[in-house]
Copies of this chain bind each other. A is one copy, B any other.
Amino acid sequence: MKTAVFPGSFDPFTKGHEDIVRKALSLFDKVIVAIGVNSTKSYLFELEKRERWIRDVFADSRQVEVVPFEGLTVDLCKKHHASFILRGLRNPADFQYESNIAHMNEGLDASIQSVFLLCDPRFAAINASIVREIFKNGGDVSNFIPNTIDLHA
């Protein structure tokens, strides 16, 4: 069974994230959406909400699992017998950042491989931190997040 971990803080989960996970379902048997919890960071949306929102988005799919996690991504992979880390790429700056992380992860555990899919151009500008900024300023972010998610709920 081919399992991939899709790590992120998903604060909030966007249409771009959804796009990558849906594409990955034809490549992997299972995709674990792993919500990273870092005690030194603060988040706009509570972990419970983020977890529930993502579960709702993929309520139609048995291949997707949602788990919060603390610590290193490679440790989470080992725990879930996942040999792949899934990441989406939107632009060259993303690539640079992701490639550094991937090479560092390889330095930690060479048996785990990073696999990259391309974000749909319509969603490539969506950035969770800009979404938060718009939301905090009372803007309408419905164009940027999956239809099933209501950030005010």
Contact = CB atoms under 8 A, between A and B. Distances in A.
Interface of A: 2, 23, 26-27, 70-72, 74-75, 83-84, 89, 91-93, 95-96, 99-104, 107-108, 113-118, 121-122, 124-127, 130-131, 134, 137-140, 143-144
A118 B116 contact: yes
Given A23-B113, A138-B71, A118 B130 contact: no
Contact of A92 (B92, B116, B122, B125): B92
Nearest to A95: B95
Count of identical protomers in the assembly: 6
B100 A127 contact: yes
A131 B107 CA distance: 11
B114 A118 contact: yes
15 contacts: A2-B27, A71-B137, A72-B137, A72-B138, A75-B137, A89-B95, A91-B92, A102-B125, A103-B118, A104-B131, A107-B143, A113-B117, A114-B118, A116-B117, A121-B124
